[in-house]
């Protein structure tokens, strides 16, 4: 019996053989007895979608299939309005750390998901707000991380940081990553931050190339309030350029004395998984843990 009856499909915009990939997934879904609805922004007008209905909001679907890599998943998450429906991701990217199914396994696994074999894995979001005096520069959320970094080559930035209104330190570095446990295996990991199990209620602060050896990553409670004040130094021609980035997809320029506040968002993202905890298996498969370096 079909658990998810109305299936939305979105796909990586620049995916090679997009229509072939979509056609294969559509065939599997329809053979399972579910209806298919296409993302008009990513597939609309393509030959593979001409005879298929489109969805305009998640209220019209029960499950969102995302065909692509981690970037496509992060984009799909950002476009959800209320995070009500679960996401099932089919990897057509390079690593696909967030993806649940490899494309070649979809024929066997996808029908089982549609009949209710999977479990829901909820992931917390960061709420990020930047203020310039009394003016809001940006307000948004991130599944992986918020990054405050210098936007020019070989210039450090000072980021005065407090946790729950208690001073922590002023990071003198290329930047600062504020990551969720989900994002601990993304930019945080490549910058020397720790891997944190996604079920933990935590937030990770990882400086990017800090100028001081004593400034190391720190893991704090997820319900903490982190405030970062940008302290730029006057240069000969202009201030150091500083940029705030959310999940590598939303960018905004910052100025001196801008204040960025990061807290845990009230919403969470729902991923459909094969079992309750596939994290260690994903580490072995995606990061090649335990394999010889030869």
The residue among 66, 88, 117 that closes a domain is 117
Contact 88, 113 (CB under 8 A): yes
Instruction: Based on the fold, state whether residues 138 and 247 are members of the same structural domain.
Output: yes
Give the containing element (helix H, strand E) for 189: helix 187-190
pLDDT reading at 28 higher than 60: yes
Mean pLDDT of 172-179: 96
Split at pLDDT 50, 70, 90, the class of 233 is low
Do 157 and 192 lie in one domain? The reply is yes
Which CATH number belongs to the domain containing residue 100 in this structure? 3.40.50.10330
Residue 214 belongs to domain with CATH number:
2.60.200.30
Pair 101, 160 in one domain = no
> How many domains does the chain contain in total?
2
88 occurs within a structural domain: yes
In this structure, are 149 and 262 located in the same domain?
yes
Same domain, 155 and 256: yes
- 243 in any annotated domain: yes
Q: Are 31 and 155 in a shared domain?
A: no
pLDDT surpasses 90 at 225: yes
Please count the CA atoms within 13 angstroms of the CA of 220 that sit on its side-chain side: 20
Task: Report the catalytic residues.
Answer: 70
32 within some domain: yes
Residue 289 lies in a domain: no
Does residue 161 share a domain with residue 62? no
* Whether residue 96 has pLDDT greater than 90: no
**pLDDT tens track for 100-114:** 999 999 999 999 999
pLDDT at 173: 95
Residue 293 covered by a domain: no
Domain contains 278: no
pLDDT at 286: 74
In a domain, 290, yes or no: no
Say if residue 104 is in the same domain as residue 131. no
The string of pLDDT tens digits covering residues 137-168 is 999 999 999 999 987 666 789 999 999 999 99
Are residues 264 and 126 in contact, defined by beta-carbon separation less than 8 angstroms?
yes
Give the C-alpha distances (Å, rounded to integers) separating 29 from 19, 24, 50, 115: 15, 9, 17, 11
Please provide residue 120's backbone torsions phi and psi, each rounded to the nearest 5 degrees: -90, 125
Based on the fold, state whether residues 250 and 183 are members of the same structural domain.
yes
How many CA atoms lie less than 13 Å away from 51 in the CB half-sphere?
3
Are 111 and 159 found together in one domain? no
Give residue 63's domain range: 6-117
Reduce the DSSP state of residue 169 to 3 states and report it: strand
Please check whether residues 112 and 136 belong to one and the same domain. Answer: no
**Looking at residue 190, what DSSP letter applies?**
H
pLDDT value of position 172:
94
Asked whether residue 102 falls in the same domain as residue 41, the answer is: yes
Average pLDDT, the chain: 90
**pLDDT at residue 237 tops 60:** no
**Residue that is last in its domain, among 117, 149, 176:** 117
Q: Among 84, 117, 150, identify where a domain stops.
A: 117
Q: What is the pLDDT of residue 239?
A: 59
Instruction: Report yes or no on 140 lying in a domain.
Output: yes
């Amino acid at each position: 019996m079909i658990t998810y009856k109305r299936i939305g499909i979105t796909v990586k915009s620049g995916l090679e053989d997009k229509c072939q990939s979509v056609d294969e997934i559509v065939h599997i879904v329809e053979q399972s007895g579910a209806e298919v609805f296409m993302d008009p922004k990513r597939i609309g007008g393509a030959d593979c979608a001409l005879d298929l209905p489109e969805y305009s909001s998640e209220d019209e679907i029960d499950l969102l299939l995302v065909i692509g890599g981690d970037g496509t998943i992060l984009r799909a998450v950002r476009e959800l309005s209320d995070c009500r429906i679960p996401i099932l991701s089919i990897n057509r990217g390079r690593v696909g750390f967030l993806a649940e199914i490899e494309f070649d396994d979809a024929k066997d696994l996808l029908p089982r998901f549609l009949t209710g074999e999977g479990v829901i894995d909820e992931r917390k979001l960061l709420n990020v707000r930047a203020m310039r005096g009394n003016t809001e520069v940006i307000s948004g959320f991130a599944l992986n991380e918020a990054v405050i970094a210098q936007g020019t080559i070989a210039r450090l930035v000072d980021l005065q940081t407090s946790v729950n209104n208690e001073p922590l330190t002023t990071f003198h570095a290329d930047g600062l990553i504020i990551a969720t446990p989900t994002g601990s295996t993304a930019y945080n990991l490549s910058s020397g931050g720790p891997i944190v199990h996604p079920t933990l209620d935590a937030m990770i602060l990882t400086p990017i190339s800090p100028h001081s050896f004593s400034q190391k990553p720190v893991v704090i409670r997820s319900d903490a309030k982190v405030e970062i004040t940008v302290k730029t130094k006057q240069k000969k021609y202009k201030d150091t350029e500083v940029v705030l980035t959310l999940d590598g997809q939303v960018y905004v320029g910052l100025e001196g004395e801008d204040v960025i506040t990061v807290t845990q968002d009230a919403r969470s993202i729902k991923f459909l998984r094969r079992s309750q905890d596939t994290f260690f298996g994903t580490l072995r498969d995606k990061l090649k843990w335990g394999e010889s370096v030869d």
